[in-house]
Amino acid sequence: MLLSVIIPVYNAEKYLSRCLESVFTAVALSKVSAEVILVDNGSSDNSLSVAKKFANDSPLKIQILHCHTKGAAAVRNYGATKASGKYIWFVDADDTVTDTSVKLLIEKAEKTHADIVMMGATRVYPDEHTDYLSAVKPSEPDYKSRFVRYGAGPWQFLFLRSWWVSHGFSFKEGIIHEDMEMISSLILYTDKFAAVDKPLYIYYQNDDSVLHKAKWDPHYLDIFPALSGLFARFKEARVAEKYHDELEWFFIWNLLIDSSKDFSKFREGKVGFKKSREMLKKYFPGWRKNRFLRKKPLKLRIKVRLNYYK
């Protein structure tokens, strides 16, 4: 078995068929031996019926499992323990993969003996406009620097399962932003890194996703333990100083640009701005002089400062 595709499922009836059809097509065209592991997290819609129909109709090996611990982190962790493929790929149930994705990823991994293969992705917004999330390439100068400050999702990587298991990697359970603590630190654990800088994954930013809710959710504040956990990983590896500027920029981006959009939408978000200021004062009091921030357009630099003082 070369590949295990792990798909968390929670009330994904609206998207799951589209996702599975894309995965099955990519596997079939690649002629790679593969399994699909669907892990249900207590869906109350018809997601399980969709999954079972595909399992009955597909020649692929399909496992339908049940994880009773809530959250995408627990589901991914559980799915990884049940995988038997040489490589694992975490795919979200509301996204799709391209026809050539499996073929190109496996070819790259086998040729380079990589622990991690990163891919490019097309991001699709609710209004259907798109942009491209490029892969970090090992040929880039200081590619590890860019990797640390990139902020990719787990779906943008193919992982060698034996490497993943040997390091005891797992996603932080009980929070959203569950991947943030781990993903940016993975490059610290290997020099066997490869990339396919093509849009092999289609990432849909749906209005009903966990990160795009219409009402305030206290889990928006999970950004703070996630960032603290990430910093702790670099501290534990004794490279926090080496990657000081990269981590500082990562904090600036996630607190004063990305999360501030969520905080601004809700009255309850005022506490988020306060906690952002406190976190930056604690970890990076000199953040205004960050070398990556200084290279950004004036408009963005002004926006960052305004969000800091909100």
- What pLDDT shows up at residue 217? 87
- pTM of this prediction? 0.93
Domain 3-204 coded CATH 3.40.50.12280: no
Helices 244-253 and 223-236, packing angle to 10 deg: 170
- For the stretch 21-65, pLDDT in tens is 999 999 999 999 999 999 999 999 999 999 999 888 888 889 999
212 pLDDT more than 70: no
What does the pLDDT look like over 231-272, one tens digit per residue? 999 999 999 999 999 999 999 999 999 999 989 999 888 999
Separation of alpha carbons 8 and 130, rounded Å: 24
Q: How confident is the model at residue 211 (pLDDT cuts 50, 70, 90)?
A: low
- The token duo for 86 is 């040489």
78: amino acid identity, one letter: Y
Give the pLDDT mean for 8-18. Answer: 95
276 in Cβ contact with 259 (< 8 Å): yes
Would you kindly state where each structural domain of the chain is located, as residue ranges? 3-204, 218-308
pLDDT > 80? residue 210: no
pLDDT of residue 167: 96
**Greater confidence, 200 or 177?**
200
Residue 207 pLDDT > 70: no
Average pLDDT for the chain = 94
Q: Please tell me the predicted confidence (pLDDT) of residue 209.
A: 59
Q: Is 115 helix (H, G, I), strand (E, B) or coil?
A: coil
- Stretch 168-175: mean pLDDT, rounded? 93
pLDDT tens digits, one per residue of 64-106: 999 989 999 999 999 999 999 999 999 999 999 999 999 999 9
Torsion of CA 289, 291, 292, 296, to 10 degrees: 70
- What percent of the chain is modeled with pLDDT above 90? 86
Supply angle C-alpha 9, 73, 87, rounded to 5.
Answer: 80
Indicate if the pLDDT at residue 142 is higher than 70: yes
